[in-house]
Structure 1
Amino acid sequence: MDLLSLSDFVLVARHGGFGRAARAAGRPKATLSRRVAELEASLGLRLFERGSRMLKLTEEGRALHERIGALLTEIDETAAAIASGGNTPRGRLRISAPLLFSQTAMGKIAAGFALKYPEVRLEITNEDRAVDMIEEAYDLVIRVNPAPDASLVGRAFLHDRLVVVASPDFSSPVGDVAVPGVVRGAGSQQVWNVSGAKGSETIRVDPVLALSSLIMVRDAVRAGVGVARLPISLVSNDLADGSLRHLGDVEGAGIALWALYPSRRLLSARVSAFLEFLKHAFPNGTPDELAAYIGK
């Protein structure tokens, strides 16, 4: 098994046939067929199902293509970078980030990164779903408290915590009476466990307003609709100037933002540069740093 055979296999797999791959690459069809056959012989595996009119990857072929295709792309990019004078970040960088972080901080981060690395074409989408990085061609994703994923590696670059807040004229609940609340998404009556100056206590909440954005939730709480659970970084300035009142910290509700990328790929200069940029923006990864960044 050699690199040329692997490269020809990926070429044929991407184009779905020897003829189309040969035309796209300007190479003899017989040469591609021979190299793929040699690769199959060296592996002792059949990589393609060969029909009279079509060529289809076997299960083993698909697995090999998923692992090798991205690696060969990175090798090509590395070679091009070296040939052009080093590891200067360049090319397209696609990132998926959660909605709140995108709305509050990502615009400034993206602008600063674009000014520092003008040869990178940065594309950022904001969504809270767990995107499929390989299928949707993302280079990096930012996720909140991600579930373990063996196909991804990365690091937490920011930490936050949830607090319960209300407007200054809000009357604290007495006994087991439910208080009006503003929540993200639909919800029935809830019980929030909080810790504050009086120790641990529970707040029974009746969601009277359900909104799709935490910024909308904050604005509604400012207007006096009810209580809400919000990241401390989002309301630090409001708490400092008295626009909101702190009722307690939500127990067991730590928040970590992770920057993740596929473990099967070589880490490109673009991704490395963006990770370093995040580290520079939030050197200690604290809620205070994010709050200060939002307030700039």
Structure 2
Amino acid sequence: MDLLALADFNLVARFGGFGKAARATGRPKATLSRRVAELEADLNLRLFERGARTLKLTEEGRALHTRTSALLTEIDETTKAIASMGHNPRGTLRISAPLLFSQTALGRLAAGFVAQYPDVQLEITTEDRPVDMVEEAYDLVIRVNPQPDESLVGRVFLRDRQVVVASPDIQWPTGNGAVPAINRVSAGRNDIWNVNTVNGQVKLSTQPVLSLSSFLMVRDAVRAGAGIACLPLSLAIPDLLAGTLVHWGDVDGQETALWALYPSRRLLSARVSAFLDYLKATFPNGTPEELAHYIDQKDDLGIMR
């Protein structure tokens, strides 16, 4: 059996069509079609039912895809691992990461990684949506509190928590009064915040005055005195230390964990292993204070980041 033809068959099966597979992989559609036809001829089996606008696996095609896709993945990972062996991992490493971590830390972290591993071509895209690692060809994804996924494994490399902060000019509300609040759009509207303070948990009545799409925008607005806000502790620490923001308490139940995830394969490429080790070396304790210090460090030119 021609392994190249089998690999092309699995590409078409995975993406659900010749055109989709060609666009996703950059392979010519005609080549994929020819290879699949050759495989069908070699096996004397029809692997796809071809309609005018649809393409469906036959029962035999589904069985072949199920039994060979994992094997081909294993072969691919084996060859990549062998090619990347040694002290200098090489090749392309594609990573998807969330917006806030990308904006505050990942640019500098990526620069340090490629300086240490110059044979690795690092590609990072920023998005908060869940991505399909296999179909979108990512080697590693970084996510905040990800949903369980049996196809992925990973490790926590940073932990954080949400804190309620305000400008020193804003006073704690008295009685049943509400305090102006800045919300993130994705968090939705919640007028009652459960806040853990030094005196115990309290219910804080708020009046939303702003809805913003990023934590950096929220931080700038709360600095300007527009209202109270929930921020990751790592993002708030510099202002809390400087006295430009005041800590009102912690948001109840809002602890977060930043995970590095990768497909659950027996063989892990040297590129991914090197990046995981680099994350661990950069954040050995994985605390909010450690991340805040990293974000606020001066670079070699003495410019505050």
Are residues 244 and 50 of structure 1, via their aligned partners in 2, closer, same or farther at CA, if it must alter by over 3 Å? Answer: closer
Q: 1:98 to 1:205 in 2, by over 3 A?
A: same
Offset of 1:81 from its aligned partner? 3.9
CA displacement at 1:75 relative to structure 2: 1.9
Q: C-alpha separation between the residues in 1 aligned to 2:55 and 2:240?
A: 63
Aligned equivalent of 1:63: 66
SS at match of 1:175: coil
> Structure 1 residues 12 and 195 mapped into 2: Cα distance closer, same or farther (>3 Å)?
closer
Question: What is the aligned-residue RMSD (CA, Å)?
Answer: 2.9
Task: Provide Cα deviations, 1:222-273, integer angstroms capped at 9, x if missing partner.
Answer: 0000000101000101000001000001111111000000113621000000
Partner of 2:80: 77
Helix, strand or coil for the counterpart of 2:189?
coil
| 1:227 alignment partner in structure 2 | 228
Residue 106 (1) aligns with residue 103 (2): no
1:23-62, aligned counterparts within 5 Å? 34=42, 48-49=47-48, 57=57, 58-62=61-65
Corresponding residue of 1:292: 293
**C-alpha contact 1:188 1:206 (8 A) present in aligned 2:** no
State whether structure 2 residue 2 is matched by structure 1 residue 9.
no
Q: Within 1, Cα distance between the matches of 2:73 and 2:135?
A: 12
CA distance in 2, matches of 1:110, 1:206: 40
Give the structure 1 partner of residue 260 of structure 2. Answer: 259
State the match for 2:300 in structure 1. Answer: none
User: CA-to-partner distance for each residue in 1:41-71, whole Å, 9 max, x for gaps?
Assistant: xxxxx78247799996422233345423332
Supply the AA of the counterpart residue of 1:9.
L
Q: Does the 8 Å contact 2:81/2:268 carry over to 1?
A: no
Find the residue that maps to 1:252 and give its secondary structure. strand
Q: Which residue is equivalent to 1:246? A: 247
SS of 1:283 mapped into structure 2: coil
User: In 2, Cα distance between the equivalents of 1:256 and 1:293?
Assistant: 17
What is the DSSP-based 3-state SS (H/G/I as helix, E as strand, rest coil) of the residue aligned with 1:180? strand
Please name the residue that 1:40 is paired with: none
Per the TM alignment, residue 215 of structure 1 is displaced from its structure 2 partner at its CA by 0.4
Inter-partner Cα distance in structure 1 for 2:156 and 2:46: 39
For 2:46 and 2:161, the matched residues in 1 are separated by 50
Distance in 2 (CA, whole Å) between partners of 1:93 and 1:269 is 10
Partner residue of 1:127? 127
Letter in 2 for 1:59: R
Matched, 1:273 2:274: yes
Aligned partner letter, 2:119: E
Identity over aligned residues, as a percent? 53
Q: Is the 8 A contact 1:164 1:246 kept in 2?
A: yes
Corresponding residue of 1:211 = 212
Quick check: 1:237 aligned with 2:238? yes
The SS at the match of 1:173 is: coil
Q: 1:10 offset after TM fit, Å?
A: 1.8
TM superposition shift of 1:204: 1.2
Measure the CA separation in 1 of the matches of 2:46 and 2:79. Answer: 23
Q: Distance in 1 between matches of 2:76 and 2:202?
A: 55
Structure 1: which 4+ aligned runs deviate by more than 3 Å?
4-8, 11-16, 19-24, 49-57, 79-82, 186-189
TM-score of the two chains, using structure 1 as the length reference: 0.83
**Which segment is superposed worse, 170-179 or 218-227?**
170-179
Shift in CA distance, 264/6, structure 1 to aligned 2, threshold 3 Å: farther
Q: Report what 1:185 is aligned to.
A: 185
Indicate if the aligned counterparts of 1:182 and 1:221 stay in contact, CA closer than 8 A.
Answer: yes
Aligned mates of 2:51, 2:230 — CA distance in 1: 62
